[in-house]
A and B are shown apart, each in its own frame.
Chain A
Amino acid sequence: MTTGIEAAQEGPAQASRVEPDWLRRRGPGWAVVMRKELAEGLTSLRFVILLGLLALAAAVPIYAASSAIRDAAEGASGVGALFLALFTIGADPVPSFVALVGFVAPLLGIAFGFDAINGERAQGTLPRLLSQPIHRDDVINGKFAAGLAMIAAAVTGMMLLVAGLGILRLGIVPAPSEVVRLIGWLILTIVYVGLWLAFATLCSVLVRRAATSALIAIGVWLVLGLFGVLLAQIAAGVIDPSGAAATGTASLGHAQLEQQLSSISPATLYNQATSALLNPSATAVTVPGLAQLVQLSQQIPTQLSLDQSLLVAWPQIVILIALTIACFAGAYVAFLRQEVRA
């Protein structure tokens, strides 16, 4: 980036023109874009609606779970990490907090991404925006940063609300290790929703119409979120038809195949990482091999420390981050190569 002084020297035709002071004091372009997107996004109807939806998805399971925990409180005195149980247990028919929030939260990412670029095109603001002295990637970077910031704010806010509700209902305060685990889960969730933001942004670059782009993103979300496990089962059945009915090693192999297939879905990865982070007694989140299985059967039930839990969840976390980066890089490259005019 050239400064105003250099610019004046570079442009001989500008020699007679005195460079105004403000040229030397420019903020980075993406920060300006981000600020504007934030200002517009935070007051938008879609943000308010999604915030309401997310709050509902968070509060209802917490309410149900806290009742269940209170009912079982006498018998549950031996259970460690009681506060975390609030987030991970479901009280029939209400699913657990992490399951419901994990399902709904991607909508937040989709909502902020699906019309990021094609919306600018449709409004006729893209040529005007790109004719300003900013780099072209400032536009997509600023929008992504703004989306991520809004997602982080929404998810964190919801988390605090729910934790407060839990403390009130249960009358117990989370232990420090539980707080750290919840913060870890919060970061995981932001990355996961960021993945959907990146995917929706990619759609908005590649698809001209905002409505089509939203439908694609929501369709993928539904398929992976609702039918991901089902699809993996079907696919595993096709690849290894005898395994489902088999016993012993063969059935274990079949389960592993199913597991690997469903790991293609980020929803599965997220759920696995979540259960490792929020369930200290989870020593494995994937189907173990035979040798591990023998080990596990000899294991004394134990509570894992945080770094051990992180180790269990690490592959999933890394894959999620990699997927997010891949989606955003795709959107970035496609946008930079695109003609300004549709």
Chain B
Amino acid sequence: MAVAEAPGSGASPVDESPLVEARHLTKRYDAFVAVDDLSFAVGRGEIYGLLGPNGAGKTTTILMLLGLSEPTSGEARVLDLDPARDPLEVKRHVGYLPDSVGFYGRLSGRENLDYTARLNGIETGQADARIEELLEQVRLTDAGDKPTDTYSRGMLQRLGVADALVKDPSILILDEPTTSIDPAGVAELLDLIRSLVRDRGLAVLLSSHLLSQVERLCDRVGIFSHGRLVAEGPVRELAERAGDAHLSLDEVYRRLEANAEEDADDNRD
């Protein structure tokens, strides 16, 4: 592991305590280790990318941060709360866009968002105004009254972003937000996320296996492989460490993987 620094040591761009933090987070399913001693932190106004191939443990990590899955060992901290002990309080302040998000097909986009608002205890009048504003922001005002059965994947993804924002969160967690939408849709979605961070000062944690799509969006990235964080830092820094500042993140990842395999071989000898 020549390239990887101790995870979590990257300086946060903001002074205050991080909004999201993982401390030696570990999740084991019987013999299989899904997440292995993971540590990282995300501060206010920061976009952190948890990057790695499918099955690297990204979604498991996110579920632990939301208190939807209990860590085997280690600790997650969200807003200085333990999601495993205080899940409701955490979920009140964290907007979550799940991997391949779904909606109730017979209900319209607006009705779906309204359900989320009611689950969050938002009063009807206030909810209506916020939903209107969010639908406009994700450009679904016209489609808002159509059943979500008729939506395209990209529209569902945008509705998912709006859904995550209904509760006016201070943290946004996006799991594979760009999967299965076309390139134009990806650019649009990333612009949307960027403007949200700018306008609302959110902390954003996003996971993706499409490294090239999100590398320009993230302030910092953590590269995740087989449940372990193998490198962390701003994209450019990682590229420099891998040998060339102009390397794409995909190339950086390939080199890291190659190194990791060499290490594994060394260990075997």
Contacts and interface: CB of A to CB of B under 8 A. Distances in A.
Contact of A26 (B16, B104, B121): B121
Given A22-B126, A128-B101, A340-B69, A29 B119 contact: yes
A11 B69 contact: no
A87 B246 CA distance: 84
A27 interface: yes
A300 to B, nearest CB: 60
A35 B102 CA distance: 20
A128 B121 contact: no
Given A40-B107, A127-B68, A340 B63 contact: yes
B187 to A, nearest CB: 24
A135 B121 contact: no
Given A13-B19, A25-B121, A131 B68 contact: yes
A125 B66 CA distance: 16
A14 B79 contact: yes
Nearest to B99: A127
A281 B222 CA distance: 78
Interface in B105-123: 105-107, 115-116, 118-123
Interface residues of B, number: 44
A339 interface: yes
B92 A133 contact: yes
Contacts of A13: 16-17, 19, 79-80
Interface stretch (B83-91, B135-143, B190-198): B83-91
A12 interface: yes
The B contact surface, by secondary structure, is loop
A132 B68 contact: no
Contacts of A26: 120-121
B102 A124 contact: yes
A12 B105 contact: no
Nearest to B81: A11
B89 A341 contact: no
A130 interface: yes
Interface string B153-173: 000000010010001101000
B123 A132 contact: no
A32 B118 contact: yes
Given A32-B115, A340-B69, 12 more contacts: A10-B86, A11-B93, A13-B19, A23-B92, A26-B121, A123-B105, A127-B68, A127-B99, A133-B88, A133-B167, A341-B60, A341-B69
Interface of A: 1-2, 7, 10-14, 17, 20-23, 25-27, 29, 32-33, 35-36, 40, 44, 123-125, 127-135, 339-341
Interface of B: 16-17, 19, 59-60, 63, 66, 68-69, 79-81, 86, 88-89, 91-94, 96, 98-107, 115-116, 118-123, 126, 160, 163, 167-168, 170
20 contacts: A2-B88, A13-B16, A13-B17, A13-B79, A14-B93, A17-B170, A22-B120, A23-B121, A26-B120, A26-B121, A32-B115, A32-B119, A33-B119, A40-B104, A123-B104, A128-B96, A128-B98, A131-B94, A133-B88, A340-B69
